[in-house]
């Protein structure tokens, strides 16, 4: 069924179809609509969800942790400072191996106060142990949230997952959404796999402890177990993406390659900017310029080996970072790409980084074309004049 839906509406509809046992949330722009719409589904009795109203985003994630530890499906939605207020609990959710799913609307972190899009919130949580799926459009946001349930709950993963969408650009803009039937979504996600939980342990009179003090004796081992879940997710994510494609006709992997076969200059992008960049690639291809695009969909786990294989032999690659690493070096995605390519014995491309679109600053086709022209120049000369440029800022 094809409908016109915003990103927030698509997230809310996916949550309705998932029908989680518990949703705990606190409102924040531009993610408020997700749980606002979902709360109406609860009030109308359309879902069986226990909707928990809390006093902060920290409390929202705390409630989700409690619910998930009790063995039920738990979800939430947030953005920016809300995700930052959850920081402590994000690490706890992952460390306790709880498959919580979050709809995250990407928004700049303060200061200064800003309510528009960049990726500093989700990127800031990249090392917290959460699986991260980025969305190019409303359709992908909807599909990602549904797949996130299966990924997070997989017995070999058991880690929380976030599906992201760009604030206002996608969250508040109407696009065509091909929505699945409620029955198909329920069939795809299935029953949650059984896992150790508080309710089961009490019923069987075999109580367990979750979140206890863990010092030098076992902390390292438990962190290693959580890391293993992320390693295992690298196998699970493409498997579920293929199953989704076989069932619904839209297959997903770690990334999408667009006109990459003979490309000499490649841009790596996450999120909604990809759609605009594809138009630029089409125009420049029409001019005989060998440019290509790699859309990075899965940022955690980071598909290092797969990226190295895809980028090997390209002359130059530009990474477009919609967050500033504040490292006096580059944005945050650039070092990950560098590390992925470091061990290539040959065919390693020259890399450059471009920070753009902070705080919702418009990124135009002209901006993207400028970046491609810069990458092409590097590809032609075989050397770069710089590592980092800020594009679209008044300096």
Per-residue pLDDT tens over the stretch 246-269: 999 999 999 999 999 999 999 999
Q: What's the pLDDT score for residue 57?
A: 98
Backbone angles phi, psi at 134, to 5 degrees: -100, 150
pLDDT tens digit sequence for 60-91: 999 999 999 999 999 999 999 999 999 999 99
State both tokens at 95. 């460390």
Averaged over 229-239, what is the pLDDT? 98
Note whether 316 and 375 are within 8 A (CB). yes
CA-CA distance, 179 to 206, in Å (whole number)?
A: 43
What is the CB neighbour count within 10 angstroms for residue 282?
Answer: 12
* Over residues 181-190, mean pLDDT: 98
Give the C-alpha separation, 245 to 156, whole Å. 22
Write phi, then psi, for 392 (nearest 5 degrees). 95, 10
Look at residue 364 and tell me whether its pLDDT is greater than 90. Answer: yes
Cα 394 from chain centroid (whole Å): 29
Residue with tokens 């990103």: 7
The pLDDT of residue 367 is above 90? yes
Residue 95 neighbours by CB under 8 Å, 6+ apart: 129, 222, 223, 226
Residue 317's pLDDT is 98
Mean pLDDT of the chain: 97
**Measured between alpha carbons, how far is 247 from 98 in angstroms, rounded to an integer?**
27
The tens digit of pLDDT for each residue in 120-158 reads 999 999 999 999 999 999 999 999 999 999 999 999 999
Percent of the chain with pLDDT over 70: 100
* Residue 16 pLDDT exceeds 90: yes
Residues 11-23 have a mean pLDDT of 98
Instruction: Please report the pLDDT score of residue 18 as a whole number.
Output: 98
Give pLDDT, residue 395. 87
Q: pTM to 2 decimals?
A: 0.98
pLDDT tens digit string along 306-363?
999 999 999 999 999 999 999 999 999 999 999 999 999 999 999 999 999 999 999 9
Give the domains, in start order, of the chain with CATH numbers. Answer: 2-248 (3.40.50.970), 255-391 (3.40.50.920)
- pLDDT tens profile 32-49: 999 999 999 999 999 999
| Residue 30: pLDDT over 90 | yes
Q: Is the dihedral of CA 264, 286, 371, 266 positive or negative?
A: negative
Model confidence band, residue 202 (pLDDT cutoffs 50, 70, 90): confident
User: Residues 74, 22: contact at Cβ < 8 Å?
Assistant: yes
Q: What is the Cβ-side half-sphere exposure of residue 322, based on CA atoms within 13 angstroms?
A: 28
């Amino acid at each position: 069924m094809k409908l016109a839906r915003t990103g927030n509406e698509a997230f809310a509809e996916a949550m309705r179809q998932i029908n989680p046992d518990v949703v705990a949330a606190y409102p924040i722009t531009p993610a408020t609509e997700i749980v606002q719409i979902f709360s109406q589904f609860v009030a109308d009795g359309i879902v069986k969800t226990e909707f928990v109203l809390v006093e902060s985003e920290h409390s929202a994630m705390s409630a989700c942790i409690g619910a998930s530890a009790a063995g039920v499906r738990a979800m939430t939605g947030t953005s920016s400072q809300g995700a930052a207020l959850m920081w402590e609990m994000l690490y706890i959710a992952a460390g306790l191996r709880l498959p919580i799913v979050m709809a995250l609307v990407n928004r700049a972190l303060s200061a200064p106060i800003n309510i528009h899009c960049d990726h500093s919130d989700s990127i800031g949580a990249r090392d917290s142990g959460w699986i991260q799926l980025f969305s190019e459009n409303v359709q992908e946001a909807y599909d990602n949230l549904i797949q996130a349930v299966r990924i997070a709950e997989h017995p070999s993963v058991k880690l929380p997952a976030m599906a992201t969408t760009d604030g206002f650009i996608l969250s508040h803009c109407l696009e065509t959404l091909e929505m699945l039937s409620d029955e198909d979504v329920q069939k795809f996600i299935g029953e949650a796999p059984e896992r150790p939980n508080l309710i089961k342990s009490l019923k069987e009179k075999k109580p367990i402890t979750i979140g206890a003090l863990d010092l030098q004796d076992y902390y390292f081992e438990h962190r290693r177990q959580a890391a293993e879940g992320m390693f295992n997710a690298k196998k699970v994510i493409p498997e579920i993406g293929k199953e989704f494609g076989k069932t619904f006709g839209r297959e997903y992997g770690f990334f999408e390659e667009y006109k990459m076969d003979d490309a000499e200059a490649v841009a790596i992008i996450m999120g909604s900017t990809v759609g605009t960049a594809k138009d630029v690639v089409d125009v420049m291809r029409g001019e005989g310029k060998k440019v290509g695009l790699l859309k990075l969909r899965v940022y955690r786990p980071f598909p290092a080996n797969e990226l190295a294989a895809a980028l090997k032999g390209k002359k130059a690659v530009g990474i477009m970072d919609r967050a500033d690493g504040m490292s006096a070096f580059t944005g945050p995605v650039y070092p990950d790409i560098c590390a992925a390519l470091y061990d290539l014995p040959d065919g390693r491309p020259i890399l450059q980084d471009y920070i753009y679109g902070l705080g919702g600053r418009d990124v135009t086709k002209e901006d993207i074309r400028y970046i491609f022209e810069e990458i092409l120049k590097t590809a032609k000369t075989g050397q770069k004049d710089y590592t980092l440029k800020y594009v679209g800022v008044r300096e």
